[in-house]
Amino acid sequence: MKLFVCLFLFLLPILFYGFKKRELPYSIVISKADLIVDGTISKVSKNEYEFEISQFVKGKSGSKIKVLIWKEWLCDPRIKELKSGQRLILFLEKTSYGNFAPINDSTGEIYIDNDSFINIFLPKEFTNPKVLKEGIAMFLQTYKVYGDLNDRLLQNIHIQSNKSIFEIYKMKEDNKVFKFLVGNDVHYSQVKFNLIPQFIN
């Protein structure tokens, strides 16, 4: 029996090798989102929850929406149980059924307790909801993303600014989340930032 247990413990890492969640940069998640909202869960059912929006960061909808519950798996567990009254910031795509789904599962669902984030795996720059929402708004005002955002390899995606390098530098000094989205977040070499102002008609 001891031999079996030792063999199992030895093989366990090998069995799960390669089962890693594919992370999407938040700059891409923000660009893909139809809605980015702050609010609370008002009701949870089997496959979805009702969400009451207190603030729109991107997009518009009714004040109450239905959000699909994504399926947990080994490399992407839920941080906390979904329940009424839980505050979340959501990055959502509209489905063909008229409800919404979090982008990249747990990436699109950020839990908030006492005005702070509880997910230890979030970027350290995401200090609190206010700074996060301001940084997202700054990013949306400054950049436009072109290319196929559903491409798994993020090839041929270009992020283009409408502000000068000097304006962007100042904005980076003003908000840690914006600085992260412009610099540290894009670690995929295929994603190209064009920092020269390009005013699009």
Give me the pLDDT at residue 120, please: 79
Q: For the stretch 182-200, what's the b/e string if a residue is b when 16 or more beta carbons lie within 10 angstroms of its beta carbon?
A: beebbebeebeeeeeeeee
Sorted by sequence, the CB contacts under 8 Å of residue 182 that are 6+ apart come out as: 27, 139, 143, 168, 172, 193
* pLDDT (0 to 100) of residue 11: 52
pLDDT band for position 73 (50/70/90)? confident
Residue 183: the pLDDT is 80
- pLDDT of 87-105, one tens digit each? 999 999 999 998 999 999 8
Phi and psi, residue 199, nearest 5°: -85, 120
Higher pLDDT, 201 or 9: 9
Cα(62)–Cα(9) distance, integer angstroms = 50
Query: What is the 3-class SS of 13-62, one letter each residue?
Result: HHHCCCCCCCCCCHHHHHHHCCEEEEEEEEEECCCEEEEEEEEEEECCCC
Q: What is the pLDDT averaged over residues 166-172?
A: 92
State how far the Cα of 51 lies from the Cα of 118, in Å rounded to an integer.
Answer: 19
CB-CB neighbours of 173 under 10 Å: 10
Higher pLDDT, 19 or 143: 143
- For the chain, domains (ranges, CATH) are 26-117 (2.40.50.120), 129-194 (no CATH)
Taking only the tens place, the pLDDT of each residue in 48-70 is: 999 999 999 999 999 999 999 99
Predicted confidence at residue 55, as pLDDT, reads 97
Q: What is the per-residue pLDDT for 139?
A: 95
Higher pLDDT, 29 or 17: 29
* Predicted local distance difference test score (pLDDT) of residue 186: 52
pLDDT at site 197: 45
pLDDT tens-digit readout, 138-160: 999 999 888 888 877 777 788 88
pLDDT of residue 14: 47
The H-or-E segment that residue 130 falls in is: helix 129-142
**Measured between alpha carbons, how far is 163 from 128 in angstroms, rounded to an integer?**
26
In terms of average pLDDT, the best of 2-6, 28-32, 40-44, 150-154 is 40-44
Q: What is the mean pLDDT of residues 114-124?
A: 89
